[in-house]
Structures are given as C-alpha cells and as structure tokens.
Amino acid sequence: MSKGGRNLRLDQGAKTEDLPSEKDSPTSANVETMQEFGQLRLPSTESNLHVMTIVGQIEGHMILPPQNKTTKYEHIIPQLVAIEQNPKIEGLLVVLNTVGGDVEAGLAIAEMLATMSKPTVSLVLGGGHSIGVPIAVGARYSFIAETATMTIHPIRLTGLVIGVPQTFEYLDKMQERVVRFVVNNSGISTECFRELMFRTGELARDIGTVVIGKEAVQARLINEVGGLAQALAKLRQLCRGGE
Amino acid sequence: MLYTIVPEEYIFAVSDDVGHFQEVAYLGRQVLVQPVDQRRCQIVQLLSNDPSDFLVTALSPGNIIAFP
C-alpha cells in the first residue's frame, strides 16, 4: 500500500504541473462534474466574505505525526495574503476550534490577522486554547460561543532542559511575547491575564485557568458572546464601515 | 516550541493506523485525498476558504474521484 501510494504521488505531481490552467477553467470543471456525477455544478454564488477554519493543532516548523489533526501555517499565511489582496473579498470570518500548537506559527497567524486592513471577526467554537488565544484576539472583533472554552496556561519547556537561570529567562521571554500580544489586542490587562495564566488549583494537570463563554467576555479577553448569526452580522457591519 | 493543552505523549504517540493523504487540485480547488487504488482516490477534506465551495456536492468529503 505504501509503495503504491508513493508511486501515485509521483505520477500525480507530474500531472498537476502540466495542467494547472485547464483545471482552473470553469468549463472543464463543469464537464468533469457532469462526467463524474451526472450533475451540473451549482450556480456559483460568490461570497464577499471568506471563512477560515483553524482546527486541531496549529502546525509550524515541525511536522506533527499524522494522527494529529492540524492546521498548517503554510496553508493559512498565503490565504491571508490572498484575502488581503483580492478586491472581491470584503471581510474574513475566522472560526477557531483549536487546542493550540506551535508558538511561532500561532503568533505569525495572529499578527497577520491583526495587521490586515480588511475587517476580521473571530468566532471561538468548542475551544480556543493556548496559542489559539492570541489568534482569537488578533481579529478586529471577537466572539465566543456560550459553551466554548479557552485554556490560559504557562508555556512548557520540553526536551533537553539545562538547569541554568538562562533557561528560565528564555522561557519567560517566549511567554512574554504571547502575553504582550494578547494584552495589546484585547481589553484584558497584563495583571488580569497573568493572574489567569498562573492561577493554581483550577486545572488538574497544569496551572492556569479555563474560561468558558461569558467568563472570557467578563475578563475582557473576547468582545462578545455569540454565534454564527452575530459574528456574520458584525462582519457585515464592519464591512459597511461601522465600528 | 509547542503551546498546547494536548500532552506531548499524545501528540508524538506512535500509531500505524494512519492514512496517506495527499493534496491535489480538483475542479479548480485544492482537496486532500486518500488513494483508494491506482486510479481513484477519496476526498478527505476540501481546502478552501470560500464558503460557497462547501455547497458543491462534487467536492464534498467521501466522494470517490479519478486521480486528477
């Protein structure tokens, strides 16, 4: 199976390089759909709002083992650039259900979101944990579903740890990047965020806090509790130039 | 450096029950597919941020397509 798979991959790579223009043309797409499924393609109703889902682990420098569901940095960043440049796209909705992931990749996505000129709204569904927190607050306006959770906890150091004070300083610096970004891009104060991050007695395996739905709004981390309708309404309002 | 709530031992667990996915262009969109045999593959995920693409039945996960 694995040998066959590898051969297929090579064949396929050669073919797609030959035929990019044909694949993109709507006529060939229609013919292909008719041949394959005996149905016509849906009339294209182009949306002026784009949706980006960030799910599972956020994958950066390190390719995670395949049992992890990941959102890849190299998929997201070019899409954000394309969305910023495409005149047909007026706004972006970011739907988050992430357990965290690579610090550099997460902060990169958050910085890209925060510096986009087009309106962005984030919606935390299920969970927006760890490095998902800066991504959620990176959007211009953020929503959290009533049942959604966000875990705020300190960064861990794994692998070879040298027992010198510099190790702690390094870790503290990495953590400071996250804290500073979140504080600058949301209503929460440094003291409040650090208090949530270092609180003991709340998490079973770690120190930190889980905030659920309106608790995130009370901490001024997220702007509002809401769902799809509220998030899209807000995005449309921002697109029209409202605040 | 990972900042996640998932314990390291779960992220890096060794598992052999994992499919071989690959990204291909189909109907002008990027899709993640799993090979079924030499000629056909099954759509696992549609990689697009245009919400209307997700309404196109030909692109929905589970469809078996010829290798583009």
Which residue bears the tokens 């759509």?
B43
Interval B27-37 mean pLDDT: 91
CA distance A187 to chain B (A): 22
Q: What is the pLDDT of residue B52?
A: 85
Enumerate domains of chain A plus CATH numbers. Answer: 2-37 (no CATH), 49-239 (3.90.226.10)
Could you say which residues from 188 to 207 on chain A have a Cβ atom under 8 Å away from some Cβ of chain B? 205-206
Q: Phi and psi dihedrals of A145, rounded to 5?
A: -70, 155
pLDDT of A70 strictly over 80: yes
ipTM above 0.85?
Answer: no
User: Among A149-153, A176-180, B13-17, which stretch is predicted with the lowest mean pLDDT?
Assistant: B13-17
Contacts of A26 in chain B (CB under 8 A): 28
Q: What is the pLDDT of residue A13?
A: 38
- Find, among A81, A51, A83, A56, the residue nearest to A71 by Cα: A56
Q: What is the pLDDT of residue A29?
A: 59
**Taking a C-beta distance cutoff of 8 angstroms, is the pair A212, A147 a contact?**
yes
**Taking a C-beta distance cutoff of 8 angstroms, is the pair A100, A132 a contact?**
yes
Is B62 part of the contact surface with chain A (CB cutoff 8 Å)?
no
Q: Is A25 a catalytic residue?
A: no
Diameter over CA atoms, chain A: 67
Q: Is A130 a catalytic residue?
A: yes
pLDDT confidence tier of residue A124, bands split at 50, 70 and 90: very high
CA distance B52 to chain A (A): 7
Is B60 part of the contact surface with chain A (CB cutoff 8 Å)?
no
Average per-residue pLDDT for chain A = 85
pLDDT confidence tier of residue A37, bands split at 50, 70 and 90: low
Query: Between A41 and A62, where is the model more confident?
Result: A62
**Taking a C-beta distance cutoff of 8 angstroms, is the pair A126, A148 a contact?**
yes
Query: Which H or E element spans position A2?
Result: helix A2-18
Contacts of A68 in chain B (CB under 8 A): 11
How far is Cα A163 from Cα B54, in angstroms, rounded to an integer? 51
**Taking a C-beta distance cutoff of 8 angstroms, is the pair A72, A103 a contact?**
no
How far is Cα A149 from Cα A113, in angstroms, rounded to an integer? 21
**Taking a C-beta distance cutoff of 8 angstroms, is the pair A64, A57 a contact?**
yes
Query: For residue range A148-167, what is the model confidence (pLDDT) as tens digits?
Result: 999 999 998 877 889 999 99
| Residue A162 backbone class (left: φ over 0; alpha: ψ -120 to 50; beta: rest) | beta
Could you say which residues from 4 to 43 on chain A have a Cβ atom under 8 Å away from some Cβ of chain B? 4-5, 8-9, 11-12, 15-16, 20, 23-26, 29, 32-33, 36-37, 39, 41-42
Interval A193-222 mean pLDDT: 93
How far is Cα B54 from Cα A45, in angstroms, rounded to an integer? 12
